[in-house]
Amino acid sequence: MTTVPKRHLILGLATVAVLAAVGAGILHGATRRSAQRPAPAASTHVSDAWTGKPAPAFLLNTLGGRGVKLSDFRGKVVLLNFWATWCAPCRVEMPWLVDFYSRYQGQGLEIVGVSVDDDARDKVAAFVHARNVNYTIVLKDEGVADAYGGLRFLPQSFFIGRDGNIVKQTSGVRGKEDFENDIRQALGTAQPPT
């Protein structure tokens, strides 16, 4: 009988625990969503259908009740990211967005995270506070969701150029490097900041 080294056993159990936690998070999110809520994207999708079109205007409220308009960011690159607290892929990319905002804000990047959680202002506030989110968080309304294509999958991101036109639209979580490349492309920056 062959014995498994203790470190391999611990690593195997840790892997099973992580996979179970991710699966439970996805299942938990799926059971909490109503029929109107978007589903977490199982894979990445990049759409050219939005490229070059003017980004739909919006007026959304922050968690503190302050109104935020797309026009507030005129002349900047805006990453408009639709997400939810129950969306497991959204949780994966949120720390990346915090990092990107810290590094690229000085080059003109603004990130606006649009929470699609239903009537959960306090829950969303606690969620973003626990993750030290440093970019603007607003709460969606149905008009904005419709204007941006109905939001069938989460996370969904729109890269909006300085001219107000959409540079790229993606659904689902992608690799951090791919995400950063899209930001740099929208900013017109070849290299990451040092």
> What average pLDDT score do residues 114-129 get?
92
SS3 89: helix
Give tens-digit pLDDT for 131-179.
999 999 999 888 898 899 888 889 999 999 999 999 999 998 889 999 9
Asked whether residue 15 carries a pLDDT value surpassing 60, the answer given is no
Furthest-apart CA atoms within the chain: distance in Å: 69
Give pLDDT, residue 152: 80
Give pLDDT, residue 41: 46
Pairwise CA distance, residues 80 & 34, whole Å:
23
- More confidently predicted of 119 and 127: 127
In the residue annotation, 90 being an active-site residue is answered as yes
Neighbours of 75 (CB within 10 A): 8
Give domain limits for the chain: 1-32, 37-187
> What average pLDDT score do residues 95-99 get?
97
CATH of domain 37-187: 3.40.30.10
Please list, in sequence order, all residues whose beta carbon lies within 8 angstroms of the beta carbon of residue 5, skipping any fewer than 6 positions away: none
Q: Structure pTM? A: 0.74
Give tens-digit pLDDT for 64-80.
999 999 999 999 999 99
> Which residue of the set 90, 111, 116, 167 is catalytic?
90
In degrees to the nearest 10, what's the CA dihedral of 19, 151, 185, 107? -90
